[in-house]
Chains A and B, each alone.
Chain A
């Protein structure tokens, strides 16, 4: 160390001599090196220091009580809710009594998809009918149906020509 190299041997007597010299100079300067402080100041210092300690410790207490009263219960409540949500959500049974509520609950894409499929089904039915499969039922039943409803003419008028021909063939076979 620099100081130790400069003064490798600082004896006690050297130190004492220097201290004495400084004390003498201090005395000669004729000034009080230690200004006086009144007793009231020390009392006041204790009061002010206690106030600062109170402020710091109450700040700690506030933060602890806030954590105890608000933060911890809040966190516990949120975690409990999430756990409950994760484990105890009611299982969807797919047994809705109300069809409307199911449809309304469907996402838009699903509804669009169903509508498309529905129209496809209609087309498919027409195609099937065009191929003659639609009337692939016992001719007796068809005949009974037409007689019971007494609407043979309207039914025939509504049919496309090809289907009407098929129906007539079927009826002819039934006879």
Chain B
């Protein structure tokens, strides 16, 4: 059976064929999940963002004009949701650091909640987590997905020059973090 293009599948979805949307999900769910996972850092959040991305895409499919590729459009939704998730988490962390949450919700003292929030991360993931949100998103798209600056520009709605600067800064910060953070026993090289 001939494989339908994204636009053909979108037309079918618009004509009420839900299976076509499942096919679109099958095509892109892994990329959507991983971009979210690398930006937000945790599986739990990435799982939720991946689902929410497709729900939003399904609802807004009528507005999709085909000016960019479906994947770029989908990616934009996923990146925006991921950046929002980071902001929310930063707010939660701020409230937690200032013990505001503990005052409002005393039950959140429960240490088990803290444990479920934490997740084992690689050094690189830790380094990425230190980046400002925009640099983080650009780094993920460029470093992992090897997207062109033009594609990232469509997703982020930012100039290519600005993206290059963001990526360059991100790379330097990641290198610096990893150089300083690699434990001496992990590799033969001890770095400062």
| Residue positions of A touching B, CB distance < 8 A | 1, 3-4, 6-7, 10, 14-15, 18-19, 21-22, 25-26, 28-35, 37, 42, 45-46, 48-50, 52-53, 56-57
For the residues of B in contact with A, the DSSP-based class is: helix
In the bound complex, do residue A26 and residue B124 qualify as a contact, i.e. CB atoms below 8 Å apart? yes
Chain B contact patch, size range: 35 or more
Q: Which residues of B contact A57 (CB under 8 A)?
A: 58-59
In the bound complex, do residue B186 and residue A29 qualify as a contact, i.e. CB atoms below 8 Å apart? yes
Q: Which residues of A contact B182 (CB under 8 A)?
A: 25, 28-29
Q: Which residues of A contact B164 (CB under 8 A)?
A: 10, 15
Q: Which residues of A contact B189 (CB under 8 A)?
A: 28
B125 at the interface (CB under 8 A from A): yes
Q: Count of A-B contacts with CB under 8 A?
A: 106
In the bound complex, do residue A22 and residue B143 qualify as a contact, i.e. CB atoms below 8 Å apart? yes
In the bound complex, do residue B174 and residue A50 qualify as a contact, i.e. CB atoms below 8 Å apart? no
List 29 contacting pairs A-B, 8 Å CB cutoff, sorted by A.
A3-B162, A3-B165, A3-B168, A3-B169, A10-B164, A10-B165, A15-B167, A18-B175, A22-B171, A22-B175, A22-B178, A25-B175, A26-B124, A29-B182, A29-B187, A31-B124, A33-B122, A42-B30, A46-B29, A49-B50, A49-B54, A50-B18, A50-B22, A52-B52, A52-B54, A52-B55, A53-B18, A53-B21, A57-B59
**Which residue on B lies nearest to A57, using beta carbons?**
B58
Knowing that A22-B174, A28-B187 touch, tell me 10 more A-B residue pairs with CB under 8 angstroms.
A3-B169, A6-B165, A14-B168, A25-B124, A26-B122, A26-B123, A30-B186, A48-B51, A53-B58, A57-B59
